[in-house]
């Protein structure tokens, strides 16, 4: 028979602890809420009252249910109040010695059959458990913030945790309406092990001044559909908390440099820049604890000041290429009112490209997103050509040909001879060095990367990639064009992966390594990232959509350029590609899509 937990104790009533109290009380379970002193207890009580009052005001909780919820909570100072509960969850700060002292005391106070759990997100559950005489009844129950909202719970078993205890807690999570994933005791568990390497990498971009905080956050929100950018998320988590988690994971996880805290994090913590809770972190906030960002000395100037001086007038655009990306880019420019000259390698390709653009525009009409007159006007702005000589009078050329450096360099050498002086020459490459393309011309100052995301008419992001030879005028012109297209242009340096791929693919590679080590299943890892971090897709769902061969190629480029051992492609990824398991397009990748 599965154990019925009738009463639960929660130790530590900060944001997380109070949220856990609410989760249990909402589900009809009596809770003993414990703090070390009366002021801390009252802060916890005020937090819970405020949370439930807001739920009532929003119509998510009836007033009678709120009153019943609050009545289930017994607020107490001192651990002795936990003598008769069936389960205790500790939610104090992430310090091993503190947790060990608490567990030793809980072992003394609690009845022999009580289960003792820690909500740690990074510390060793095993090291915490050995402070007791009942390590077989100790495990991790890792809730995510905010606990009443987030569906995921990581259940962390040690090598001696009883199987019956694990099964009992799994049953409890179902009763709470949570989705649980059960894993072994390893640094960072699933979600943090994958999340914090990515966050740390984003901070390194800021430290190196590779891109601005705003552009990094916008890139990941708009390019990957994430609920928050990495730097805003760091501020929400707290830089001191993030530092402790990264440092613990680095020391416990084999000293992987991906988890070695970037020096900037420690410097900011030392300076008291802890994020939202201190009123300033990567961003500045209205007041400590406020989510409202206010301008500071790093806030970029408005569009009217940055896009005015030195911007070249662009009215006519050439697009070279005939693939999916070229199709989308032609449509984007034509709908925005630009004259477009489409250049392909022959009349047959031009005819196919015309049909593809027309079909896409027609879909917009059918869906009510585009009027028939606007469709006809957009088509009327496009000239179809099979020769580069028709680009002599354009103001901007966007290249969207195959991702082969020799092909792009030959094309740019030809454009250099054909195009008039002052033309901005842009490549849509997602992985090749823009400087190599630029140096194929006699005008590298006029060359820039414009990395559109697929499908170009839908995706709002464009990465503007400036080389060490790109002029400020060219970058400003690219920004102005993106703004005129209704896109968000983010500026970054000419480095492998730019912003999005450089942050995204190492995270995906880390997920493959986790699966390869048999730490968890693909389904549980996907659940963890979707439910625990709010990602729109889990890493294995996304890898199968992108294509394992594409993902491997990008990861290899990152590794070759940065020479970071943690970026080396996971052998499992290489083996699947070798076996022809490329994802959805081949019918099988990490999952079998032929049965769906």
Q: Which residues are catalytic?
A: 121, 142, 154, 192
SS (H, E, C) 84-131: CCCEEEECCCCCHHHHHHHHHHHHHHCCCCCEEEECCCCCCHHHHHCC
Q: Are 390 and 343 in contact (CB under 8 A)?
A: yes
Count of beta carbons in the 10 Å neighbourhood of residue 44: 23
- Give bridge partners of residue 398 from the DSSP assignment: 319, 426
Q: Are 436 and 405 in contact (CB under 8 A)?
A: yes
Burial of 87 (0-12, 13-18, 19+ CB in 10 A): buried
Identify the three-state secondary structure at position 35.
strand
Which two structure tokens, joined as six digits, stand for 87? 């389960």
The H or E element that residue 38 is part of is helix 38-57
Helix axes 347-366, 372-380, angle to 10 degrees: 160
Residues in the chain: 596
Pairing relationship of beta strands 293-294 and 284-285 according to DSSP bridges: antiparallel
Number of H helices, E strands in the chain: 23, 18
């Amino acid at each position: 028979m599965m154990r019925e937990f009738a009463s639960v104790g929660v130790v530590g009533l900060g944001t997380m602890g109070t949220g856990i109290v609410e989760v249990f009380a909402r589900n009809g379970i009596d809770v003993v809420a414990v703090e070390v002193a009366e002021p801390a207890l009252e802060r916890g009580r005020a937090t819970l009252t405020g949370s439930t009052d807001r739920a009532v005001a929003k119509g998510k909780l009836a007033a009678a249910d709120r009153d019943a919820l609050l009545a289930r909570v017994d607020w107490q100072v001192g651990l002795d109040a936990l003598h008769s509960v069936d389960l205790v969850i500790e939610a104090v700060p992430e310090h091993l010695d503190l947790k060990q002292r608490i567990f030793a005391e809980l072992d003394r106070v609690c009845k022999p059959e009580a289960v003792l759990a820690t909500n740690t997100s990074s510390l060793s559950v095993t090291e915490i458990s050995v402070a007791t005489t009942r390590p077989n009844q100790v495990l991790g129950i890792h809730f995510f913030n905010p606990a009443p909202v987030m569906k995921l719970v990581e259940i962390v078993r040690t090598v001696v945790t009883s199987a019956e205890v694990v099964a009992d807690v799994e049953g409890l999570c179902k009763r709470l309406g949570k989705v649980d994933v059960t894993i072994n005791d390893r640094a960072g568990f699933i979600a943090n092990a994958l999340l914090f390497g990515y966050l740390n990498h984003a901070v390194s971009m800021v430290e190196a001044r590779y891109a601005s905080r705003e552009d990094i956050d916008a890139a990941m929100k708009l390019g990957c559909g994430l609920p928050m950018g990495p730097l805003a998320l760091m501020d929400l988590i707290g830089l001191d908390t993030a530092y402790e988690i990264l440092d613990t994971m680095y020391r416990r996880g084999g000293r992987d440099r991906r988890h070695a805290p970037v020096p900037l994090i420690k410097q900011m913590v030392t300076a008291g820049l802890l994020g939202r809770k201190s009123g300033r972190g990567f961003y500045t906030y209205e007041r400590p604890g406020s989510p409202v960002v206010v301008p500071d000395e790093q806030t970029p100037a408005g569009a009217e000041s940055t896009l005015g001086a030195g911007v070249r007038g662009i009215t006519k655009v050439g697009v070279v290429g005939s693939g999916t990306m070229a199709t989308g880019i032609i449509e984007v420019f034509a709908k925005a009112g630009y004259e477009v000259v489409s250049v392909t390698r022959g009349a047959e390709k031009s005819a196919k490209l015309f049909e593809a653009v027309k079909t896409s525009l027609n879909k917009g009409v059918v869906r009510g997103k585009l009027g028939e007159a606007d469709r006809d006007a957009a088509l009327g702005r496009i000239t179809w050509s099979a020769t580069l000589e028709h680009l002599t009078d354009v103001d901007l050329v966007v290249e969207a040909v195959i991702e082969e450096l020799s092909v792009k360099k030959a094309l740019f050498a030809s454009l250099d001879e054909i195009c008039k002086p002052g033309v901005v020459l842009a490549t849509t490459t997602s992985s090749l060095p823009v400087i190599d393309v630029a140096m194929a011309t006699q005008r590298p100052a006029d060359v820039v990367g414009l990395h559109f995301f697929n499908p170009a008419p839908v995706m709002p992001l464009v990465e503007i990639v400036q080389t060490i030879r790109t002029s400020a005028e060219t970058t400003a012109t690219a920004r102005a064009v993106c703004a005129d297209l209704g896109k968000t242009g983010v500026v970054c340096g000419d480095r492998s992966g730019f912003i999005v791929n450089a942050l995204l693919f190492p995270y995906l590679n880390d997920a493959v390594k986790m699966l390869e080590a048999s730490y968890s299943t693909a389904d549980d890892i996907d659940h963890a990232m979707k439910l625990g971090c709010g990602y729109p897709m889990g890493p294995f769902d996304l890898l199968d959509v992108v294509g394992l061969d594409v993902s491997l190629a990008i990861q290899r480029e990152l590794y070759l350029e940065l020479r970071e051992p943690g970026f080396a492609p996971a052998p499992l990824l290489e083996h699947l590609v070798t076996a022809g398991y490329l994802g959805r397009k081949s019918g099988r990748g990490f999952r079998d899509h032929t049965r769906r």
